[in-house]
Amino acid sequence: MTGPVLRSHVIGCGSYLPENIVTNAELAAKVDTSDEWIRTRTGIRQRHIAAPGEKTSDLAVKAALAALANAGATADDIDMVVVATTTPDLTFPSVGTIVQRKLGMTRGFAFDVQAVCAGFIYAMSVADNFIKAGQAKSALVIGADTMSRILDWTDRTTCVLFGDGAGAVVLNAGEGGGTSEDRGVLNTVLFSDGRLHDLLYVDSGPSTNQSVGFIRMQGKEVFKHAVTNIAASVEASAAAAGVPVSAIDWFVPHQANQRILDGTAKKLKVDASRVVSTVALHGNTSAASVPLALSTAVADGRIQRGQLVLMEALGAGMTWGACLLRW
Ligand code: UT7
Protein backbone atom coordinates (compact mmCIF):
# COMPACT_ATOMS: atom_id res chain seq x y z
CA MET A 1 0.00 0.00 0.00
CA THR A 2 1.45 3.35 -0.95
CA GLY A 3 0.10 6.90 -1.13
CA PRO A 4 -1.00 9.20 1.67
CA VAL A 5 -2.34 7.31 4.68
CA LEU A 6 -3.28 8.26 8.23
CA ARG A 7 -0.75 7.12 10.83
CA SER A 8 -0.94 7.18 14.62
CA HIS A 9 2.17 8.99 15.84
CA VAL A 10 3.30 8.46 19.42
CA ILE A 11 3.94 12.01 20.63
CA GLY A 12 4.56 11.21 24.28
CA CYS A 13 4.71 8.47 26.88
CA GLY A 14 4.81 8.20 30.65
CA SER A 15 4.33 5.81 33.53
CA TYR A 16 3.63 5.51 37.22
CA LEU A 17 4.58 2.95 39.86
CA PRO A 18 3.13 2.86 43.40
CA GLU A 19 5.62 3.92 46.10
CA ASN A 20 5.59 0.69 48.09
CA ILE A 21 8.27 -1.76 46.89
CA VAL A 22 8.04 -5.38 48.02
CA THR A 23 11.22 -7.47 47.68
CA ASN A 24 11.44 -11.22 47.19
CA ALA A 25 12.85 -11.54 50.71
CA GLU A 26 9.73 -9.84 52.13
CA LEU A 27 7.52 -12.31 50.25
CA ALA A 28 9.61 -15.22 51.49
CA ALA A 29 8.67 -14.19 55.02
CA LYS A 30 4.98 -14.70 54.15
CA VAL A 31 4.83 -17.70 51.78
CA ASP A 32 7.02 -20.77 51.24
CA THR A 33 9.36 -19.31 48.63
CA SER A 34 12.86 -17.83 48.37
CA ASP A 35 14.60 -14.93 46.69
CA GLU A 36 16.74 -17.49 44.87
CA TRP A 37 13.74 -19.43 43.44
CA ILE A 38 11.97 -16.27 42.27
CA ARG A 39 15.12 -14.77 40.70
CA THR A 40 16.28 -17.90 38.90
CA ARG A 41 12.81 -18.93 37.65
CA THR A 42 11.52 -15.48 36.70
CA GLY A 43 14.23 -12.78 36.93
CA ILE A 44 11.97 -10.80 39.28
CA ARG A 45 13.69 -9.08 42.24
CA GLN A 46 10.94 -6.74 43.43
CA ARG A 47 7.49 -5.39 42.56
CA HIS A 48 5.50 -2.25 43.43
CA ILE A 49 2.22 -2.71 45.30
CA ALA A 50 -0.57 -0.11 45.38
CA ALA A 51 -1.32 1.47 48.77
CA PRO A 52 -4.63 0.70 50.49
CA GLY A 53 -7.23 2.86 48.77
CA GLU A 54 -5.05 3.44 45.72
CA LYS A 55 -7.15 2.37 42.74
CA THR A 56 -6.34 1.40 39.15
CA SER A 57 -7.73 4.74 37.96
CA ASP A 58 -5.33 6.57 40.32
CA LEU A 59 -2.34 4.83 38.75
CA ALA A 60 -3.79 5.39 35.27
CA VAL A 61 -4.27 9.13 35.84
CA LYS A 62 -0.69 9.58 37.06
CA ALA A 63 0.68 7.74 34.02
CA ALA A 64 -1.64 9.74 31.74
CA LEU A 65 -0.49 13.08 33.19
CA ALA A 66 3.15 12.04 32.71
CA ALA A 67 2.46 11.05 29.10
CA LEU A 68 0.56 14.29 28.39
CA ALA A 69 3.41 16.36 29.89
CA ASN A 70 5.94 14.40 27.81
CA ALA A 71 3.83 15.11 24.70
CA GLY A 72 3.45 18.80 25.53
CA ALA A 73 -0.32 18.27 25.42
CA THR A 74 -3.24 18.67 27.83
CA ALA A 75 -6.34 16.58 28.44
CA ASP A 76 -8.29 19.10 26.32
CA ASP A 77 -6.34 17.93 23.28
CA ILE A 78 -7.56 14.32 23.63
CA ASP A 79 -10.46 12.88 21.61
CA MET A 80 -10.52 9.38 23.09
CA VAL A 81 -9.25 7.53 26.14
CA VAL A 82 -8.72 3.78 25.95
CA VAL A 83 -7.71 2.00 29.15
CA ALA A 84 -6.43 -1.55 29.03
CA THR A 85 -7.16 -3.11 32.41
CA THR A 86 -8.39 -6.30 33.99
CA THR A 87 -8.60 -4.86 37.52
CA PRO A 88 -11.13 -2.00 37.23
CA ASP A 89 -12.00 0.21 40.21
CA LEU A 90 -15.58 -1.08 39.96
CA THR A 91 -17.45 -3.59 37.80
CA PHE A 92 -18.79 -0.49 36.07
CA PRO A 93 -18.38 2.23 34.91
CA SER A 94 -15.16 1.80 32.97
CA VAL A 95 -11.83 3.00 34.31
CA GLY A 96 -11.71 5.01 31.07
CA THR A 97 -14.62 7.25 32.10
CA ILE A 98 -13.25 7.60 35.64
CA VAL A 99 -9.91 8.70 34.17
CA GLN A 100 -11.74 11.09 31.84
CA ARG A 101 -13.44 12.73 34.85
CA LYS A 102 -10.26 12.84 36.94
CA LEU A 103 -8.38 14.49 34.06
CA GLY A 104 -11.11 17.14 33.89
CA MET A 105 -12.10 16.22 30.34
CA THR A 106 -15.46 17.59 29.24
CA ARG A 107 -15.56 16.10 25.74
CA GLY A 108 -14.51 13.04 23.78
CA PHE A 109 -15.21 9.44 24.75
CA ALA A 110 -13.59 6.82 26.95
CA PHE A 111 -13.82 3.08 27.45
CA ASP A 112 -11.88 0.01 28.62
CA VAL A 113 -10.38 -2.87 26.70
CA GLN A 114 -9.97 -6.19 28.50
CA ALA A 115 -7.35 -8.56 27.14
CA VAL A 116 -5.45 -9.05 30.42
CA CYS A 117 -1.66 -9.03 29.88
CA ALA A 118 -2.13 -8.45 26.12
CA GLY A 119 -4.43 -5.51 26.88
CA PHE A 120 -2.09 -2.71 25.92
CA ILE A 121 -1.47 -4.21 22.47
CA TYR A 122 -5.24 -4.59 21.99
CA ALA A 123 -5.81 -1.00 23.18
CA MET A 124 -3.14 0.33 20.79
CA SER A 125 -4.81 -1.57 17.97
CA VAL A 126 -8.24 -0.13 18.84
CA ALA A 127 -6.93 3.45 19.11
CA ASP A 128 -4.87 3.13 15.92
CA ASN A 129 -7.93 1.93 14.01
CA PHE A 130 -10.11 4.80 15.33
CA ILE A 131 -7.41 7.23 14.19
CA LYS A 132 -7.01 5.56 10.79
CA ALA A 133 -10.80 5.63 10.34
CA GLY A 134 -10.83 9.37 11.09
CA GLN A 135 -13.10 8.99 14.14
CA ALA A 136 -10.46 10.45 16.48
CA LYS A 137 -7.49 12.72 15.86
CA SER A 138 -5.81 12.04 19.18
CA ALA A 139 -5.91 9.26 21.75
CA LEU A 140 -4.67 8.58 25.23
CA VAL A 141 -3.88 4.86 25.46
CA ILE A 142 -3.30 3.60 28.99
CA GLY A 143 -2.36 0.23 30.44
CA ALA A 144 -3.10 0.11 34.17
CA ASP A 145 -3.51 -2.76 36.62
CA THR A 146 -3.55 -3.49 40.34
CA MET A 147 -2.98 -7.24 40.06
CA SER A 148 -2.16 -7.33 43.80
CA ARG A 149 -5.92 -7.05 44.44
CA ILE A 150 -6.72 -10.35 42.70
CA LEU A 151 -3.78 -12.40 43.95
CA ASP A 152 -4.22 -15.27 46.35
CA TRP A 153 -1.41 -14.29 48.73
CA THR A 154 -1.25 -17.88 50.01
CA ASP A 155 -0.56 -19.30 46.51
CA ARG A 156 3.19 -19.13 45.98
CA THR A 157 2.87 -20.18 42.33
CA THR A 158 1.18 -16.87 41.43
CA CYS A 159 1.63 -14.27 44.18
CA VAL A 160 5.38 -13.85 43.60
CA LEU A 161 4.91 -12.99 39.91
CA PHE A 162 2.76 -9.87 39.76
CA GLY A 163 2.99 -6.17 40.61
CA ASP A 164 0.99 -2.96 40.17
CA GLY A 165 1.61 -0.02 37.84
CA ALA A 166 0.49 2.02 34.84
CA GLY A 167 1.89 3.34 31.58
CA ALA A 168 0.43 5.55 28.88
CA VAL A 169 1.06 6.94 25.41
CA VAL A 170 -0.46 9.88 23.54
CA LEU A 171 -1.27 9.23 19.89
CA ASN A 172 -1.83 11.93 17.28
CA ALA A 173 -3.07 11.49 13.72
CA GLY A 174 -0.37 12.23 11.17
CA GLU A 175 0.18 11.57 7.48
CA GLY A 176 2.46 8.96 6.01
CA GLY A 177 3.39 7.70 2.58
CA GLY A 178 2.01 4.22 3.27
CA THR A 179 5.40 2.54 3.53
CA SER A 180 7.47 1.10 6.38
CA GLU A 181 9.52 4.32 6.30
CA ASP A 182 6.55 6.20 7.82
CA ARG A 183 6.62 7.34 11.41
CA GLY A 184 3.92 6.04 13.74
CA VAL A 185 2.11 2.72 14.05
CA LEU A 186 2.86 0.60 10.99
CA ASN A 187 0.56 -2.25 12.01
CA THR A 188 -0.93 -4.20 14.86
CA VAL A 189 -1.62 -7.94 14.79
CA LEU A 190 -4.04 -9.55 17.26
CA PHE A 191 -4.80 -13.17 18.08
CA SER A 192 -6.85 -15.09 20.62
CA ASP A 193 -7.81 -18.68 21.33
CA GLY A 194 -10.66 -19.05 23.82
CA ARG A 195 -10.03 -22.81 24.08
CA LEU A 196 -6.97 -22.01 26.22
CA HIS A 197 -9.15 -20.50 29.00
CA ASP A 198 -8.14 -22.99 31.70
CA LEU A 199 -4.43 -22.16 31.54
CA LEU A 200 -4.94 -18.74 33.10
CA TYR A 201 -8.13 -17.22 34.52
CA VAL A 202 -9.71 -15.57 37.55
CA ASP A 203 -12.00 -17.98 39.40
CA SER A 204 -14.92 -15.57 40.02
CA GLY A 205 -16.84 -12.72 38.42
CA PRO A 206 -20.07 -10.69 38.60
CA SER A 207 -22.25 -13.05 36.54
CA THR A 208 -20.75 -16.22 38.00
CA ASN A 209 -20.89 -15.62 41.74
CA GLN A 210 -21.07 -11.83 42.30
CA SER A 211 -17.46 -11.85 43.44
CA VAL A 212 -14.00 -10.78 42.28
CA GLY A 213 -11.91 -13.92 42.73
CA PHE A 214 -8.27 -14.87 42.40
CA ILE A 215 -5.82 -15.60 39.59
CA ARG A 216 -5.36 -19.28 38.75
CA MET A 217 -2.59 -20.34 36.39
CA GLN A 218 -0.90 -23.40 34.93
CA GLY A 219 2.45 -21.63 34.67
CA LYS A 220 4.39 -24.20 32.68
CA GLU A 221 1.70 -24.43 29.98
CA VAL A 222 1.38 -20.65 29.73
CA PHE A 223 5.15 -20.43 29.38
CA LYS A 224 5.18 -22.79 26.37
CA HIS A 225 2.39 -20.91 24.58
CA ALA A 226 4.07 -17.58 25.36
CA VAL A 227 7.35 -18.23 23.57
CA THR A 228 5.73 -19.85 20.51
CA ASN A 229 2.85 -17.39 20.07
CA ILE A 230 4.82 -14.24 20.79
CA ALA A 231 7.53 -15.21 18.31
CA ALA A 232 4.82 -15.92 15.70
CA SER A 233 3.15 -12.55 16.27
CA VAL A 234 6.47 -10.71 15.96
CA GLU A 235 7.07 -12.46 12.64
CA ALA A 236 3.51 -11.69 11.47
CA SER A 237 3.89 -8.00 12.31
CA ALA A 238 7.30 -7.68 10.65
CA ALA A 239 6.01 -9.50 7.54
CA ALA A 240 2.93 -7.25 7.35
CA ALA A 241 5.23 -4.21 7.32
CA GLY A 242 7.58 -5.83 4.80
CA VAL A 243 10.60 -5.57 7.10
CA PRO A 244 12.83 -8.39 8.35
CA VAL A 245 12.82 -9.05 12.11
CA SER A 246 16.54 -8.18 12.04
CA ALA A 247 15.65 -4.59 11.03
CA ILE A 248 13.73 -3.96 14.27
CA ASP A 249 15.77 -1.72 16.57
CA TRP A 250 13.98 -2.33 19.88
CA PHE A 251 11.78 -5.09 21.23
CA VAL A 252 9.48 -3.97 24.05
CA PRO A 253 7.91 -7.17 25.35
CA HIS A 254 5.30 -7.87 27.98
CA GLN A 255 7.30 -8.45 31.15
CA ALA A 256 6.12 -11.78 32.60
CA ASN A 257 9.32 -13.72 33.04
CA GLN A 258 12.94 -13.05 31.98
CA ARG A 259 13.10 -16.64 30.69
CA ILE A 260 10.19 -15.91 28.31
CA LEU A 261 12.00 -12.78 27.06
CA ASP A 262 15.23 -14.77 26.56
CA GLY A 263 13.48 -17.75 24.94
CA THR A 264 11.56 -15.55 22.51
CA ALA A 265 14.68 -13.53 21.58
CA LYS A 266 16.60 -16.76 20.97
CA LYS A 267 13.80 -18.17 18.77
CA LEU A 268 13.78 -14.93 16.72
CA LYS A 269 17.61 -14.71 16.65
CA VAL A 270 17.44 -11.29 18.28
CA ASP A 271 20.35 -10.14 20.43
CA ALA A 272 19.38 -9.63 24.10
CA SER A 273 20.84 -6.10 24.00
CA ARG A 274 17.87 -5.05 21.80
CA VAL A 275 15.24 -6.36 24.21
CA VAL A 276 13.96 -3.92 26.85
CA SER A 277 13.64 -5.71 30.18
CA THR A 278 12.08 -4.23 33.32
CA VAL A 279 10.73 -7.46 34.82
CA ALA A 280 13.41 -7.51 37.56
CA LEU A 281 12.14 -4.24 39.02
CA HIS A 282 8.42 -4.30 38.17
CA GLY A 283 7.35 -7.97 38.07
CA ASN A 284 4.39 -8.73 35.83
CA THR A 285 2.17 -5.63 35.83
CA SER A 286 -0.25 -7.09 33.24
CA ALA A 287 -1.58 -4.41 30.86
CA ALA A 288 0.84 -1.84 32.31
CA SER A 289 4.00 -3.77 31.56
CA VAL A 290 4.53 -2.83 27.90
CA PRO A 291 4.00 0.95 28.32
CA LEU A 292 6.09 0.87 31.52
CA ALA A 293 8.97 -0.76 29.63
CA LEU A 294 8.47 1.60 26.69
CA SER A 295 8.59 4.67 28.95
CA THR A 296 11.74 3.35 30.63
CA ALA A 297 13.60 2.91 27.34
CA VAL A 298 12.42 6.27 26.01
CA ALA A 299 13.37 8.10 29.21
CA ASP A 300 16.87 6.61 29.33
CA GLY A 301 17.50 7.53 25.70
CA ARG A 302 17.65 4.05 24.20
CA ILE A 303 14.68 4.52 21.85
CA GLN A 304 15.44 7.27 19.34
CA ARG A 305 13.37 9.07 16.70
CA GLY A 306 13.20 7.09 13.45
CA GLN A 307 13.85 3.69 15.04
CA LEU A 308 11.61 0.65 14.61
CA VAL A 309 9.99 -0.47 17.87
CA LEU A 310 8.10 -3.73 18.28
CA MET A 311 5.80 -4.16 21.29
CA GLU A 312 4.31 -7.59 22.02
CA ALA A 313 2.35 -9.38 24.72
CA LEU A 314 0.44 -12.53 25.62
CA GLY A 315 -2.21 -12.91 28.27
CA ALA A 316 -5.18 -14.87 29.52
CA GLY A 317 -7.91 -15.81 27.11
CA MET A 318 -5.52 -16.60 25.67
CA THR A 319 -4.87 -13.35 23.85
CA TRP A 320 -1.69 -12.18 22.17
CA GLY A 321 -0.39 -9.79 19.56
CA ALA A 322 2.17 -7.23 18.48
CA CYS A 323 2.39 -3.59 17.47
CA LEU A 324 5.14 -2.32 15.19
CA LEU A 325 5.86 1.39 15.04
CA ARG A 326 8.50 3.80 13.92
CA TRP A 327 9.37 6.17 16.76
O1 UT7 B 1 1.51 -12.58 31.75
C2 UT7 B 1 1.19 -13.79 31.12
C3 UT7 B 1 0.93 -14.82 32.13
N4 UT7 B 1 2.00 -15.35 32.87
C5 UT7 B 1 3.13 -15.91 32.37
O6 UT7 B 1 3.54 -15.71 31.28
C7 UT7 B 1 3.84 -16.87 33.29
C8 UT7 B 1 4.35 -18.07 32.53
N9 UT7 B 1 4.95 -19.06 33.37
C10 UT7 B 1 6.09 -18.88 34.10
O11 UT7 B 1 6.64 -17.79 34.09
C12 UT7 B 1 6.67 -20.05 34.83
O13 UT7 B 1 6.05 -21.24 34.43
C14 UT7 B 1 6.57 -19.90 36.38
C15 UT7 B 1 7.52 -18.83 36.85
C16 UT7 B 1 5.15 -19.56 36.78
C17 UT7 B 1 6.97 -21.21 37.07
O18 UT7 B 1 8.26 -21.62 36.64
P19 UT7 B 1 8.53 -23.14 36.22
O20 UT7 B 1 9.95 -23.26 35.94
O21 UT7 B 1 7.55 -23.49 35.13
O22 UT7 B 1 8.21 -23.91 37.56
P23 UT7 B 1 7.09 -25.01 37.88
O24 UT7 B 1 5.73 -24.42 37.85
O25 UT7 B 1 7.35 -26.21 37.04
O26 UT7 B 1 7.48 -25.35 39.37
C27 UT7 B 1 8.71 -25.99 39.71
C28 UT7 B 1 8.73 -26.25 41.21
C29 UT7 B 1 7.48 -26.97 41.71
O30 UT7 B 1 7.90 -27.88 42.70
P31 UT7 B 1 8.02 -29.46 42.35
O32 UT7 B 1 6.65 -29.86 41.86
O33 UT7 B 1 9.07 -29.54 41.29
O34 UT7 B 1 8.39 -30.04 43.67
C35 UT7 B 1 6.68 -25.87 42.34
O36 UT7 B 1 5.85 -26.33 43.38
O37 UT7 B 1 8.79 -25.02 41.92
C38 UT7 B 1 7.75 -24.97 42.89
N39 UT7 B 1 7.34 -23.59 43.05
C40 UT7 B 1 7.92 -22.73 43.90
N41 UT7 B 1 8.94 -22.89 44.76
C42 UT7 B 1 9.32 -21.82 45.47
C43 UT7 B 1 6.34 -22.93 42.40
N44 UT7 B 1 6.29 -21.65 42.81
C45 UT7 B 1 7.25 -21.51 43.74
C46 UT7 B 1 7.70 -20.43 44.51
N47 UT7 B 1 8.73 -20.63 45.37
N48 UT7 B 1 7.14 -19.21 44.44
Domain final position from 127, 150, 176: 176
41 CA → ligand 1 middle, Å: 7
How far apart, in Å, are the Cα atoms of 282 and each of 20, 44, 97, 210, 257?
11, 7, 26, 31, 11
Q: How many residues does the chain have?
A: 327
Name the residue at shortest CA distance from atom 25 of ligand 1: 220
Regarding whether 242 and 128 lie in a shared domain, the answer is no
Active site residues: 117, 254, 284
Is the domain of 133 the same as that of 150?
A: yes
| More confident: 3 or 118 | 118
Say whether pLDDT at 1 is over 70: no
Residue 3's pLDDT is 77
pLDDT digits (tens, 9 = 90+) for 262-303: 999 999 999 999 999 999 999 999 999 999 999 999 999 999
Residue 261 has pLDDT above 70, yes or no: yes
Answer whether 216 contacts ligand 1 (Cβ < 6 A).
no
Ligand 1 centroid–CA 72 distance in Å is: 43
Give yes or no for residue 226 CB within 6 A of ligand 1. yes
Contact predicate 85/112, CB 8 Å:
yes
Q: Which of 126, 156, 176 is the last residue of a domain?
A: 176
Enter the pTM of the model: 0.98
Query: For the chain, what is the domain count?
Result: 2
Mean pLDDT of 144-153: 98
CATH number of the domain residue 290 falls in? 3.40.47.10
Task: Give first-to-last CA distance, the chain, whole Å.
Answer: 20
**Average pLDDT value for the chain:** 97
Centre of ligand 1 to C-alpha 177, Å, is 47
How far is the C-alpha of 115 from the C-alpha of 117, rounded, in Å?
6
Last residue of one domain, picked from the residues 158, 176, 194: 176
Judge if 227 and 171 occupy the same domain: no
- Do 64 and 133 lie in one domain? The reply is yes
**pLDDT tens profile 213-232:** 999 999 999 999 999 999 99
Pocket of ligand 1 contains residue 180 by CB under 6 Å: no
Ligand 1 touching residue 213 (CB < 6 A): no
Q: Do 15 and 141 fall within a single domain?
A: yes
What is the DSSP code string of 180-203? TTSSEEEEEEEEE-GGGGGGEEES
Q: Are residues 137 and 191 in the same domain?
A: no
Q: Within 13 Å of residue 91, how many CA atoms lie on the same side as its CB? A: 8
Question: Which atom of ligand 1 is nearest to 157's Cα?
Answer: 44
What is the domain range of residue 237?
184-326
Cis peptide before 93 (omega within 30 of 0): yes
For ligand 1, atom 8, the nearest C-alpha belongs to 223
37 lines ligand 1 (CB under 6 A): yes
Ligand 1 lined by 117 (C-beta under 6 Å) = yes
Question: Going by CA atoms, what residue is nearest to atom 23 of ligand 1?
Answer: 220
Strands (DSSP E) along 147-294, which ranges? Answer: 164-176, 184-192, 200-202, 215-217, 250-253
**34 shares a domain with 99:** yes
Centre of ligand 1 to C-alpha 158, Å, is 8
Q: Do 229 and 144 reside in the same domain of the chain?
A: no
Q: Is the CB of 48 under 6 A from ligand 1?
A: no
Residues 6+ apart with CB under 8 A from 104: 75
Over 60: is that where the pLDDT of 167 sits?
Answer: yes
User: Measured in angstroms, how far is the CA atom of residue 140 from the centroid of ligand 1?
Assistant: 35
Spell out the residues 6+ positions from residue 65 whose beta carbon is closer than 8 angstroms to its own. Answer: 14, 103
Average pLDDT of span 20-39? 97
Closest ligand 1 atom number to CA of residue 33: 47
